[in-house]
Amino acid sequence: MKGALKDLNLNIVEMTDENATLDGGDVLFTGREFFVGLSKRTNQRGAEILADAFKDYAVSTVPVLEGLHLKTFCSMGGPGLIVIGSSEPAQKTLKIMQQMSDHRYDKLTVPDDLAANCVYMNLPNKGHVLMHCTPEQYPESVKVFEKLKDHMLIPVPNLEKVKVDGGLTCCSVLINKKANN
């Protein structure tokens, strides 16, 4: 991965503090700020290193009360739109995030926490694109996604990844870089 990122001329920040842990599944970038879930895989020191690397953005920590990490029940569904599971722990975490932020976000609540793990992209010539769970996995949550009329919706099966605690965001590295023509 490091080699691929270097080939793209991207800035790489390495965590050299052996006491720091930071799992990408605990890092939610809203486009305006970062929320970092404190979980079994991410600690306060990891969040501090992220804050040092991205000084132009606010970085707030939130406890992950249940589930593997923050994106187990929460992700971005578009600019200013947080997709959140309906469980009590997910809703409590969202409330904490709202209290910590100076920004106001819209929310899209899905019945199934794991369905909230989706991948948003704003693609040239396509617009708003959202990869999300399939109707076979979470039919009620897909009905909620279908209300996003301005999004191209792409259902992606996740049955195998879930067996090893993986979600759609675990298999995604989004890079905002123009292609060389």
- Output the pTM of the full model: 0.90
Domain that holds residue 46: 1-170
Query: Over the stretch 108-141, which tens digit does the pLDDT of each residue have?
Result: 999 999 999 999 999 888 899 999 999 999 999 9
* 138 within domain boundaries: yes
Q: Catalytic residue, from 74, 118, 133, 170: name it.
A: 170
Query: Over the stretch 59-94, which tens digit does the pLDDT of each residue have?
Result: 999 999 888 899 999 999 999 999 999 999 999 999
* 154 within domain boundaries: yes
Active site includes 128?
no
CA 67-26-102 angle, to 5 degrees, is 110
Active site includes 118?
no
**CATH code, domain with 68:** 3.75.10.10
Distance CA 36, CA 47 (A): 6
Q: Catalytic residue, from 69, 128, 132, 151: name it.
A: 69
